[in-house]
Amino acid sequence: MLSRIAGWLGPKRDPRLLQAITFLRSAGQGMALVDVSLYLKDLGWGGGAIGAVLAGAGLTRMLGMLFARQGNAYLGSKRFLLLFEALTAIAALAAAAASYPAVLAVALIAAGLGSGHSGSGGPAAPIERRWLAAYSRNGSNRLFHVNALLGSFGMGAGALLGCLPSWGLGSLQGADRFRPLFALIAFVSLLSVALTLCIQGGKRKAAGDAVSSGSGTAGRSARSGAPAAAAANSAEIAGDAPASASPPQARAGRDGPKLLALVGVSAAALAASAVLRRSGFNQLSLFVPIAAFVCILAANAVRLLIRSRSSAPDERATEDLKHLSNVLSGVVVTLTGTMTSYWFSSRFEASAGSIGVVMSLSYIAAGLLSLRGTSSARKPASVRSVLLMQFTAIAFLLAMPWAASFWLAACLEIGCTAFNLGTRGNRTAIMMEEPRRGPRSGFATFYYLLIRIGAVLWPGAFGRWVEAGEYVAPFYIAAGLQAASALLYARVFRRSPSSSARNPEVEAAPAAGE
């Protein structure tokens, strides 16, 4: 039995350890997701302060994911994962032992605790997937589906454990009832540290060593018929990151005006929203930044579509379009999950324990759907599976604000979350089949940063709508963005030929926008 489970986790010892670490980290993340806001509330924090801490935690996770590649190159995969787990353990211990607002705020924000509703694993997730890619080069994407399954199951188990204080189990009262849970999160993180230390490889390599290693591997692969592109990058995929990457092409002249326009539109939207809010047009002020956000997304998508479909197609534009569709797909599926628990509490006066059970069942169902995708080994089947699941999730999302009872809304939420997050395994596998991208321009980096910041700030707008008694608009805005994202994803990937070369760069994998 144990040998069968070990074989299911991975072909060798190291990928099995990586899969176990994913489960443990996700369990800790699920506990924090349920308990951080409740813990701070019992300590006497106001809603604005709690929202600010959660937004800061989400921003930390987002920046960590955005610069995971650079951190991997500087530290190496193993040290990067160790740093992330150690930081989480320290923050959880601080939350368990301290009650000072400044200490709690710094600890929670620095480790990103309380955010991450997509269950992606935060900055550690892209590093783990790069590592797993070294063991998934025979046309099988099963490892990515198993990884998504374990991540979702871990989130579900953690969310269920996070309900224990709300159910009144134990003799502790008030904020003290949450402290053992934070101690458990610290223990889980330290256990992940111990497992990471047992993994071989993952060291930072000098640039010269990486090149020579890649060349030698490429030569051997050329003689054996393996794809040279994947072989040349094998050292980096396996977690041995080079100390420095090749310098990006000089595109400052073209990027400058676009960057200025992007910054200008963003600043103008925020200023207009503030003016409308001070003038008493609170509802209208919520739509201005959202409209600007949609216009920015649409303008860049249309620009890339035109360049990719011209008589002389721009290969770089095609790559950027694929990256945009995957980032956007990962961002929009998380838009409702970040504030659904607050919506349940406000609309149906549901208890924290009931909400935690719904969250747990949602993640477990998402994990089961992720595992189902292992049968879609070919790229066209994987793309069709992603699109079918996303449009099914949109149908659940459109029906959710009209639910008349908590349990009907809970069933719709479970279905919506399961079909949204259940696409993670397939989306990761599809990205891994894409050829390796070159370095991003400064405009592209800022653009993707803006998308993720928009996702981080979305809960604030959602919460203000709910406080005003508007339960339909935020769900339908999120559904519209999901539909547009799914159509773009279909346009890009259904016409994209499958590549035999694996792409080690999956930092924009699902749920990049939490």
Buried b (16+ CB within 10 A) or exposed e, 196-214: beebeebebbeeeebeebb
Give Cβ neighbours of residue 112 (< 8 Å, ≥ 6 apart).
Answer: 57, 58, 60, 61, 64, 122
Q: What are the two backbone dihedrals, phi and then psi, of residue 203, each rounded to the nearest 5 degrees?
A: -85, 155
Contact 138, 226 (CB under 8 A): no
The distance from CA 476 to its chain's CA centroid, rounded to whole angstroms, is 22
pTM exceeding the 0.85 threshold for the entire prediction? no
H or E, element range at 143: helix 142-162
3-state helix, strand, coil split of the chain in percent (to 5) is: 75, 0, 25
Q: What is the pLDDT of residue 61?
A: 85
HSE-up of residue 360 (Cα within 13 Å, Cβ side): 19
Contact 444, 304 (CB under 8 A): no
Q: In angstroms, what is the C-alpha Rg of the chain?
A: 22
Q: Which of 62, 133, 69, 63 is closest to 439 using CA atoms? A: 69
- Amino acid type, 117: H
- β-sheet bridge partners, residue 242: 205
Two tokens at 393?
């999730």
Tell me the three-class secondary structure of 172-207, residue by residue. Answer: CCHHHHHHHHHHHHHHHHHHHHHHHHCCCCCCCECH
DSSP label at residue 313: -
Angle 239-434-123 (CA atoms, 0-180°, nearest 5)?
40
Contact 152, 363 (CB under 8 A): yes
Tokens of 133: 């890619």
Confidence (pLDDT) at 45:
84
What is the per-residue pLDDT for 514?
Answer: 47
b/e per residue, 157-170, with b = 16+ CB within 10 A? bbbbbbbbbbeeee
Domain segments of the chain: what residues? Answer: 7-202+238-493
* 8 Å CB contact between 323 and 427: no
The CATH number given to 7-202+238-493 is 1.20.1250.20
d(CA 51, CA 459): 9
CA-angle at 151, arms to 407 and 346, nearest 5°: 30
Distance between CA atoms of residues 256 and 442, nearest Å? 9
Question: Token digits for 153?
Answer: 């199951």
Tokens linked to 131:
């590592």
Residue linked to tokens 């003290």: 176
Spatial CA neighbour of 119 closest among 8, 9, 25, 39: 25
* pLDDT string in tens for the chain (514-residue length): 556 556 666 668 888 898 899 999 999 998 988 888 888 888 888 767 887 788 788 888 888 887 888 888 888 888 999 999 999 999 999 999 988 899 999 999 999 888 776 666 778 888 888 888 777 665 456 777 788 888 889 999 998 998 888 777 667 777 888 899 999 999 999 999 999 999 887 676 655 454 444 444 434 434 444 333 333 333 443 444 444 444 444 454 555 676 677 777 777 877 887 888 788 777 777 777 777 777 877 777 787 777 777 655 566 777 777 777 777 776 776 676 666 777 887 788 887 788 888 988 988 898 888 766 555 555 667 788 888 988 999 999 999 999 999 999 999 999 998 888 887 767 776 766 665 555 555 666 667 777 777 777 776 677 777 777 778 888 898 888 888 888 888 887 765 554 444 444 444 444 444 4
For residue 512, the model assigns a pLDDT of 41
Measured between alpha carbons, how far is 12 from 84 in angstroms, rounded to an integer?
A: 24
Residues 6+ apart with CB under 8 A from 472: 401, 402
Q: pLDDT at position 495, please?
A: 59
Q: Between the CA atoms of 91, 96, 98 and 103, what dihedral angle is there, to the nearest 10 degrees?
A: 20
Q: What is the pLDDT of residue 507?
A: 42
Other CB atoms closer than 10 Å to residue 79's CB: what's the count? 17
**Residue type for 430, please?**
I
